[in-house]
């Protein structure tokens, strides 16, 4: 089996044995792992309350718009189906 490597040696990539090594590291020193997770969590750019509210409102508005669209589409298709069934009888 041929081992594939990144074209850029300086770029770190995943290796097939990474999951096993990671779980081994966590079991050896769980406190260090938790500290590293905490450090990474502080690097995250969290959205502001305003951005969160805007995103939630956009999702709600789009859900309402799409539900109205599908309601209208359903009624139009129902109308044409009933018309087709009446003609065929």
Domain ranges in the chain?
17-45, 47-89
Burial 57-70 (b: 16+ CB within 10 A, else e): eeeeeeeeeeeeee
Predicted confidence (pLDDT) per residue in 24-39, tens digit:
666 778 788 888 899 9
- Residue 13 neighbours by CB distance under 10 Å: 9
Q: Judge whether 33 and 25 are in contact, CB under 8 Å.
A: yes
Q: Judge whether 47 and 40 are in contact, CB under 8 Å.
A: no
Predicted confidence (pLDDT) per residue in 38-89, tens digit:
999 999 998 999 999 999 999 999 999 999 999 999 999 999 999 999 887 6
pTM, 2 dp: 0.52
Distance CA 4, CA 14 (A): 11
């Amino acid at each position: 089996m041929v081992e594939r490597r990144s074209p850029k040696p300086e770029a770190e990539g995943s290796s097939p044995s990474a999951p096993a090594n990671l779980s081994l590291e966590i079991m050896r020193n769980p406190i260090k792992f938790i500290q590293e997770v905490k450090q990474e969590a502080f690097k995250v750019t969290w959205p502001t309350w305003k951005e969160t509210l805007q995103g939630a409102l956009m999702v709600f508005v789009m859900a309402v718009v799409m539900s109205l669209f599908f309601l209208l589409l359903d009624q139009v298709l129902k109308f044409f189906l009933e018309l087709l069934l009446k003609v065929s009888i």
